[in-house]
Structure 1
Amino acid sequence: MRVVSCIVTLHNLWLVALAAVVCIGGAWVGFGLFRRARERREVQKAGWIFLAAVAAGAAVWCTHFIAMLAYESGAPVTYDPILTMVSLLVAIAGMGLAFWTALEPGRASVVLGGGILGVSVSAMHYTGMMAYHVDGLISWDAPYVVASVLIAAGAGVAAMLASLADRKLLAHACFVLAVVGLHFTGMTAVSVTPFATGAEIADPQVIAAMAVAVAGVAIIVIGTGVASYMIDSDVSEKNLDALRQMALNDPLTGLPNRTSFSNYLGHELERARAGGTKVAVIGIDLDKFKEINDLRGHEAGDQALQIIAGRLAALLRDGEFVARIGGDEFAAVKRFDEQRELHDFVARLERELFAVMRIDDFDVVPGASIGISVYPQDGGTAARLIGNADLAMYRAKADVARAVCFYEADMDELARARRDLGLDLRRAIDRGELQLHYQVQTTVSSREVVGYEVLLRWKHHRLGYVSPAEFIPLAEETGTILTIGEWVLREACKEAASWPQPDKIAVNLSPVQLAHCDLPRLVHQILVETGLPASRLELEITESSIIQDKVRSLHALRQIRALGVTIAIDDFGTGYSSLDTLRSFPFDRIKLDRSFMSEVEQSAQARAIIRAVLALGKSLDISVLAEGVETEGQLKLLQSEGCDEAQGYHLGRPEPRRSSPQADAAAAA
């Protein structure tokens, strides 16, 4: 009651209200800046603590000074300017130390920081009271002084605990209680007995004007903190927008990315379930992108993706969505009620994907394989619809006559069978199901045996022999080709080392082997293990395996050739950079693709190509072997054209080794 009586009877209530407004504003801004400091680290953290300390400390000091001006002592009053300024610095420094301590890990630090806050408010108040000079006798009531300090410290601890718990209103209220409780309890402890000096008491209007001026300074300081907070919030919001853009959009094309696609599809499926509409999921895989990358470089590939993305984005209408989900793969979503709406959207996609585009100085038609699944008949979840659209897309890619393929139920069976076959292929070596067959290679002029090509066969425990055209791509797709390729190379070298005749063997290499393993080290290790001379081993590679990573591939081939192993380029004439490949690496043998031999007796163009390749081989001093020789007429034609070597069913079919390869050749003859 003495405190209440002190406020009501000894203070100008209008100025008390002004002090309360300043205190509440300081609490709001100071603790708001303190929360921002909690979100920052190192230098930024220190900067925000400084701003919070200035705002809160200035608010505390201004509250105290306005409340002092509101105190009616009944005697003339003056203020010591130095101590008054010191009290302001004490408030700011104390707030800074309190905030910094409270941000240290552990609850004890928070409590300590709150205690420092209360003590600093007390120190500021009583320093200010030392600056308070009155023409009268001042006496103090010690219990009230102690009570004021305890109130400030307790409320300060509560304010810090509430702030760290994100209870903003409670934190602000406790801070105001610490300041106001300290001040008015402390003022209750003061008793002033005026001296009869006859000096004039300050004009109340002047005091009010000073209080308003002090409040104005407080508002400026607080406003500075608010402005800093707003600027940082704006920058943070812009940064958040930028991060959101990066997280949800593809940086190269600007289209939505896989995450955006998943979010949008989930939203559309919920809408379709509620409204009974249909949703189509469309998978898009570009057909010519790899060719553009290989021929023109990655910069041209990026340009192609940007052009395609721009076209797809421009054709979109309400209920349509397109995203780039990785590499040269795009995905689209179409909400529709009638089938013709879906067909119209797919037609627009086809038109843009198959339109000619110009990149630098050449024109290209990108083309695409498009697979479509529809909710609800093809799946009820996003994952099922995406998977079924992928199955349809792969069907379209495998069928050169179709660019668009809708999902069909039997695709699941085919996919399941392919997965099962892939699992069986992983266990084929352990089950002893893989076999090596050898096809003889002879000179064209004398038909003398010069070597054997090693061919892999798989005798499945349930399906019997599986075509290499089926299981080799599956092995490359699943990565099993690395294990199988190493087994083939080691087994072939081991068997060849046991032959009585030192014939050469030619082993095919997959592009995956050349790109994903330390091939020179593996070849050297196997030659040492098996004891096969390096001169008896030839490795066959295709042009496509080199083009994927030309620098790395040619470096590996040079290391292998340094071991004494010969290198042959397989399927020559079917690629698009054969001459450049021959210029880049000195191959030991050119293997002319079998497709030319199948037409050589009827096609003048095929004969002209064979003649040109033979001339090229002679000029480069590289022997040429023709594959796919199946008739005597083909062999005689090769002989007349001066071909070095030949291989094909007419000379010998691939067979497993009996007692020796010579016995195999005799049996075939």
Structure 2
Amino acid sequence: MMTVLGCIVYRHDLWLVAVAAMLCIAGSWVAARLFHRAATTSGLQRIGWHFLTALAAGAAIWCTHFVAMLGFEASVPVGFDPVLTIVSLLIAVLGSTVGFVIAGSRLARGTAAVGGAIVGLAIVAMHYTGMMAYRVQGIVSWDRPYLVASVILAVGFAAAALHIAMHRNGRADNLMASLLAAAILSLHFTGMAAFRVQPLLIDASFVNPQAFQALALAVAGMALLIVGAGLASYLIDGSLRAESIERLRKMAMNDSLTGLPNRVNFNGRLDQEIDQACHAGRKLALVGIDLNRFKEINDLRGHHAGDEVLRIVARRISGVLRDGEFIARVGGDEFAALHRMADPGNLAGFLARLEEALFKPVRVDDYEVIPGASFGVAIYPDDAADKATLINNADLAMYRAKSDLWRTACFYEPSMDETVRARRNLAADLREALAHHQLSIHYQVQTSVSTGQILGYEALLRWNHPQRGCITPTEFIPLAEENGLILQMGEWVLRSACATAASWEPPYKVAVNLSAVQLAHADLPLLVRQVLEETGLPPHRLELELTETTIFADKERSLHMLRQIKALGVSISLDDFGTGYSSLDTLRSFAFDKIKIDRSFISEAASNPQTAAIIRAILALGKSLGVAVLAEGIETSDQLQMLNLEGCDEGQGFLLGRPAPLSEILDSGQITLKGRSDGPGTTRKVDFGTMGRAAV
């Protein structure tokens, strides 16, 4: 009985056998990788990859068979039936498609093996259909054991190949390719060992070996093209996937506006640098950076200008980095930098380079600005033993730098923690004071400069701390804004002031200040209307004061809110005019009822001619616009006389009256309450705390 090895060695052209084996291995390798790609996709993409897999596998199956058959020495004249030959190719491709689709479906636990078995049966069907197309001048017979063995080998190897492919590990693709190639080659050569021919020389024609070799090379070339196309698709897709993954990685790890590393990237790099510093026994400096004038740029020039400034600043600071240095954008106008401290002296140079880059003028369109920045520095392990503490300490130092006009960079000090703790404790006390009605309202008189007639009072919030005594509004109002208390506090002041003023005789105006947080709240016009209705205060007797800085937080929205409030009949006053963001455009955009000149101008008027000129200009502006002007901070008779000569309408200050509880104002006789007839100087007892609580 002829063995399989003997069939290969003695009945085949070994050169064509080698070509067939090469085609089989290459096609199986490509098919394995295409099948893997199909298994990782879904929908139409999966169908497309399955088709390419089946095409590569079908080409490998059919071309291996055809080339090997062209190398088979039958010792009799042979030929090929064209129809059956084409049918065998279709069987290879379509049968493989069905098998690969089923194997990749994951419908059940053994689906992969079933799909592989179908691929094996497609190999068998293709081979024996191809053998039917192989026409010889002789009587064909088959050795049944070899024939059965060929079927078992093809189905077994193919089932194992796809089973392994769906249970992925590091070598799954190579194992699948090896087993699939084994299925194809074992089927073919075991099947050829079963093939028997008894010659019947009907005519004298014989096979032309050179023609068969040329045909075999043509088939092999076409197979390589098909397999190569599948490989190219795989490689192109792999390249695109790699590029997409890299692009997504960059998007995830880098800031889209500036191109600098983002917070996620920074946190990972900080972990790495701390680990290296710990093992190398060196120090690491973390520098928190906050731009000083970014909000002003955004407010005055718009977000487009702000974005352009950030891009320019990012290019500059990334351009000054050296080995062992890293910088990232971690917030809107916040950056963070790392510096390996191989030499402590190099840290000063690093800060100087950053300062030079950030304090250089930036031109956007026709506007030039110096961004400036505040630096907070914390050093590992001197200032912190872990990442979270290091970041926190750098932030503390940065906020200290922002509050210090004379220092650009601040290094962390343990006392900063004490300051933060004290601030947190004060915030807790403020929450307690608000909950237990421990705040009070004082009133400061506003008079006519020319006649001295009382025109109204400004309501000023006061906090008398049980342990610390009087705490100024400049200290506790920012705390209220930071801790979400300002809305509750502002509503309490508005209700209390309106409820109290509603009972005044004469019916003077009452002025109440608004914070930026209150103005940003959508319900402010509704709140003002409800308070007026509930307290009975006529709208024309309420005046709301706000600074231009407050408006600039969102100018269009703020002016829309103010128009709604003004429509109720409430007066709107522009406070602290001449400081901050003062601009004529704001006065043009909204019809304010009053302009208040900041106290800093009044205090310098006598000693600074330029300041006096600014006051005259503001007063002239008010007259030309038909808007009343009030001067704050009047403390001397000379200041009052100067303002009177310049034509100032109203005044407010210690000279005219200090802020005082309403009980003292009642005692002075400036105000009486409706239903009370006590004359000036008469002492009356009024529980104003109860009034305030009732108003809440």
What TM-score do you get using the length of structure 2 for normalisation?
Answer: 0.88
Deviations 1:329-362 (A, max 9, x none): 2222111233221112212222222233433334
Count of matched residue positions in the alignment of Structure 1 and Structure 2: 669
Partner residue in 2 for 1:80: 81
Task: Report if the CA contact (8 A) 1:652-1:668 is conserved.
Answer: no
Secondary structure of the residue aligned to 1:30 is helix
CA distance in 1, matches of 2:614, 2:661: 34
Deviates more, 1:278-287 or 1:306-315: 306-315
479, 483, 494: which is aligned to 2:484? 479
- Superposition deviation, residue 278 in structure 1: 1.8
CA distance in 1, matches of 2:69, 2:500: 105
Partner residue in 2 for 1:413: 418
- Superposition deviation, residue 393 in structure 1: 1.1
Q: Does 1:448 align with 2:453?
A: yes
Secondary structure of the residue aligned to 2:604 is coil
CA distance in 2, matches of 1:213, 1:458: 97
- Superposition deviation, residue 587 in structure 1: 0.7
Secondary structure of the residue aligned to 2:279 is helix
- Match of 1:559, as an amino acid? Q
Partner residue in 2 for 1:21: 22
Distance change >3 Å, CA 84–CA 428, structure 1 → 2: farther
The within-5 A match list for 1:491-510 is 491-497=496-502, 499=504, 502-510=507-515
The within-5 A match list for 1:326-345 is 326-345=331-350
Distance change >3 Å, CA 514–CA 150, structure 1 → 2: farther
Secondary structure of the residue aligned to 2:340 is strand
Q: Does 1:488 align with 2:493?
A: yes
Secondary structure of the residue aligned to 1:107 is coil
CA distance in 2, matches of 1:462, 1:165: 72
465, 470, 478: which is aligned to 2:475? 470
- Superposition deviation, residue 518 in structure 1: 3.5
- Match of 1:127, as an amino acid? T
CA distance in 1, matches of 2:571, 2:267: 51
- Superposition deviation, residue 396 in structure 1: 1.0
CA distance in 2, matches of 1:497, 1:157: 92
Deviates more, 1:443-452 or 1:405-414: 443-452
The within-5 A match list for 1:515-594 is 515-594=520-599
Secondary structure of the residue aligned to 2:105 is coil
Deviates more, 1:192-201 or 1:51-60: 192-201
Deviations 1:269-310 (A, max 9, x none): 222222222211111212122222233333332332233222
The within-5 A match list for 1:47-66 is 47-66=48-67
Distance change >3 Å, CA 180–CA 378, structure 1 → 2: same
Partner residue in 1 for 2:612: 607
Deviates more, 1:105-114 or 1:503-512: 105-114
CA distance in 2, matches of 1:405, 1:659: 46
Q: Does 1:623 align with 2:628?
A: yes
Task: Report if the CA contact (8 A) 1:6-1:187 is conserved.
Answer: no
128, 133, 136: which is aligned to 2:135? 133
- Match of 2:360, as an amino acid? A
Deviates more, 1:612-621 or 1:242-251: 242-251
Deviates more, 1:284-293 or 1:626-635: 626-635
Deviations 1:459-506 (A, max 9, x none): 445544332111211222333323332333334334444556543322
Q: Does 1:170 align with 2:175?
A: yes
Secondary structure of the residue aligned to 2:511 is strand
CA distance in 2, matches of 1:452, 1:558: 23
315, 319, 325: which is aligned to 2:324? 319
CA distance in 1, matches of 2:84, 2:465: 97
Deviates more, 1:145-154 or 1:289-298: 145-154
Task: Report if the CA contact (8 A) 1:61-1:88 is conserved.
Answer: yes
- Superposition deviation, residue 562 in structure 1: 1.5
Q: Does 1:12 align with 2:12?
A: yes
116, 119, 129: which is aligned to 2:118? 116
Task: Report if the CA contact (8 A) 1:10-1:73 is conserved.
Answer: no
Task: Report if the CA contact (8 A) 1:539-1:568 is conserved.
Answer: yes
Distance change >3 Å, CA 423–CA 42, structure 1 → 2: farther
Q: Does 1:458 align with 2:448?
A: no
Partner residue in 2 for 1:160: 162
Secondary structure of the residue aligned to 1:558 is helix
592, 603, 606: which is aligned to 1:598? 603
Distance change >3 Å, CA 335–CA 68, structure 1 → 2: same
Unmatched 5+ stretches in structure 1: none
Distance change >3 Å, CA 557–CA 668, structure 1 → 2: farther
- Match of 1:393, as an amino acid? M
Q: CA RMSD in A?
A: 3.0
- Superposition deviation, residue 511 in structure 1: 1.3
Task: Report if the CA contact (8 A) 2:13-2:73 is conserved.
Answer: no
Task: Report if the CA contact (8 A) 1:572-1:578 is conserved.
Answer: no
Percent identity between the aligned chains? 55
The within-5 A match list for 1:125-524 is 125-140=127-142, 148-149=150-151, 151-166=153-168, 167-187=172-192, 190-197=195-202, 199-204=204-209, 206-497=211-502, 499=504, 502-524=507-529
Deviations 1:225-253 (A, max 9, x none): 22222222233333333333333333333
Distance change >3 Å, CA 299–CA 214, structure 1 → 2: same
Secondary structure of the residue aligned to 1:598 is helix
Task: Report if the CA contact (8 A) 1:437-1:455 is conserved.
Answer: yes
CA distance in 2, matches of 1:488, 1:250: 43
- Match of 1:113, as an amino acid? G
- Match of 2:241, as an amino acid? S
What TM-score do you get using the length of structure 1 for normalisation?
Answer: 0.91
Partner residue in 2 for 1:648: 653
Distance change >3 Å, CA 8–CA 144, structure 1 → 2: closer
